[in-house]
């Protein structure tokens, strides 16, 4: 009889996890598309070394990954420069939980901070580097935020999407016809 309850409980737990996952995934997708936000699309592993290299981090760097997903960019950059500070923002629950699990498994929870928060609410004033893999609409809104918050000479790297009114200092072609846009952001705070 106890075996029945254990199996039944395990089945219920499995179903509950799938319901939460499907709800957050499909509900998140609907909300994402309605608001013009980027869905969770992981950066290809083949692109990580090039992105980390082009970030040009040093030990005083503070990297923000806006919409960090499963934290793979933060981890790749940490491997190149472990003395820098790493901060990620992820609004959606599934990638956020996956990021936290990944960081826990790697023993990096203290070194890389990931917050479940909308990055438009984050204060970027101490950023020296920012990574983006977002949507066109989000890039438009971020450009305004950057003008108000980030310091002059903050290095901004964007995968696939350009800031609409800024000219990249460099554009690098990656595998699978992806472009990495590098900005030496020169706007002064208002």
pLDDT tens across the length of the chain (190 residues): 678 777 777 777 677 676 666 555 554 544 544 445 667 788 999 999 999 999 999 999 999 999 999 999 999 999 999 999 999 999 999 899 999 999 999 999 999 999 999 999 999 999 999 999 998 889 888 888 888 888 888 999 999 999 998 899 999 999 888 999 999 876 544 4
The predicted structure's pLDDT at residue 33: 44
Instruction: Evaluate whether 174 touches 148 at the Cβ level (below 8 Å).
Output: no
Closest CA to 108 of 141, 125, 86, 139: 86
One of 1.20.210.10, 3.10.129.10, 3.40.50.150, 1.10.238.10 is the CATH number of 45-185, namely 3.40.50.150
The Cα 117–Cα 129 span in angstroms is 19
Instruction: Scan for tokens 């500070």, then name that residue.
Output: 85
Whole-structure pTM value: 0.79
Angle at 99 between CA 73 and CA 69, to 5 degrees: 55
């Amino acid at each position: 009889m106890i075996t029945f309850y254990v199996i039944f409980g395990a089945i219920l737990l499995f179903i509950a996890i799938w319901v939460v996952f499907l709800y957050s995934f499909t509900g998140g997708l609907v909300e994402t598309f309605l608001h013009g936000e980027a869905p969770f699309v992981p950066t290809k592993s083949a692109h990580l070394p090039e992105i980390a290299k082009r970030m040009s981090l040093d030990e005083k760097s503070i990297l923000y990954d806006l919409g960090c997903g499963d934290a793979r960019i933060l981890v790749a950059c940490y491997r190149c420069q472990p003395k820098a500070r790493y901060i990620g923002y992820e609004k959606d629950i599934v990638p956020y939980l996956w990021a936290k699990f990944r960081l826990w498994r790697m023993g990096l929870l203290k070194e890389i901070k990931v917050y479940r928060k909308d990055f438009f609410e984050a204060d970027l004033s101490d950023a020296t580097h920012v990574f983006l893999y977002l949507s066109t609409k989000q890039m438009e809104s971020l450009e305004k935020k950057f003008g108000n918050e980030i310091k002059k000479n903050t290095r901004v790297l964007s995968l696939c999407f350009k800031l609409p009114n800024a000219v990249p200092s460099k554009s690098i072609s990656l595998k699978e016809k992806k472009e990495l846009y590098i900005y030496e952001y020169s706007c002064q705070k208002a």
